[in-house]
Chains A and B, each alone.
Chain A
Amino acid sequence: KAGVTQTPRYLIKTRGQQVTLSCSPISGHRSVSWYQQTPGQGLQFLFEYFSETQRNKGNFPGRFSGRQFSNSRSEMNVSTLELGDSALYLCASSQGTGPDTQYFGPGTRLTVL
């Protein structure tokens, strides 16, 4: 079974631009969660989508948004990029019901110049 895939793996943008990151979950998984990891920081939870609906949300500004499609693939969008948005963005998929294990993708490294 293929793992979680994320595209692109690396991205360089400038301040003020917007960016869209993509995540394809493990086949059969209905939940996709997004996390941000900055140098020296732990995993900061952004949001979770389950069956195309946002089910949980972290404490990030409205510039960070996401969506999930009917095939469970998810996208995350960041508008009006700031230097502080430079980070490793991780997505994780799970079945989304009951005691559950999340499996992570390799991440997208975003650099904002």
Chain B
Amino acid sequence: DQQVKQNSPSLSVQEGRISILNCDYTNSMFDYFLWYKKYPAEGPTFLISISSIKDKNEDGRFTVFLNKSAKHLSLHIVPSQPGDSAVYFCALHFGNEKLTFGTGTRLTIIP
């Protein structure tokens, strides 16, 4: 039973445009939501997070949106840059339970 889904395994975006990555979840208990970026053969790097009491959090080019009623999380990157090409994972958390990761979306920025 997959509690967290990233339905797009891959996404290609032109440099300078907006990249939108999506994540859907089923468990309404999740109260903390994170996005990580991962290059091959490296550990994931934390990007941005949002708690369930907010619906938007912004950090530079990265904005995370949370729609609790739809159980939907998204990450917007604007403008997209070649260095953003990586695999992006959403990760969800509640209480002292383990962090639950999505399956990842491979983002490719086309110069």
Is A102 positioned at the interface, with any CB of B under 8 Å from its CB? yes
In the complex the two chains form, what is the Cα distance from A106 to B44 in whole Å?
8
In the complex the two chains form, what is the Cα distance from A105 to B41 in whole Å?
11
Contacts of B102 in A (CB 8 A): 42
Q: Which of B11-19, B56-64, B75-83, B91-99 lies at the binding interface?
A: B91-99
Q: Which of B21-29, B45-53, B66-74 lies at the binding interface?
A: B45-53
CB distance from A29 to the nearest CB of B (A): 13
Is B109 positioned at the interface, with any CB of A under 8 Å from its CB? no
Contacts of B85 in A (CB 8 A): none
B98→A106 contact, CB < 8 A:
no
Q: List 15 additional contacts besides A102-B91, A102-B99; criterion CB under 8 Å.
A: A43-B89, A45-B98, A55-B96, A88-B41, A92-B43, A99-B31, A99-B93, A100-B93, A101-B34, A102-B34, A104-B36, A104-B45, A106-B42, A107-B41, A107-B42
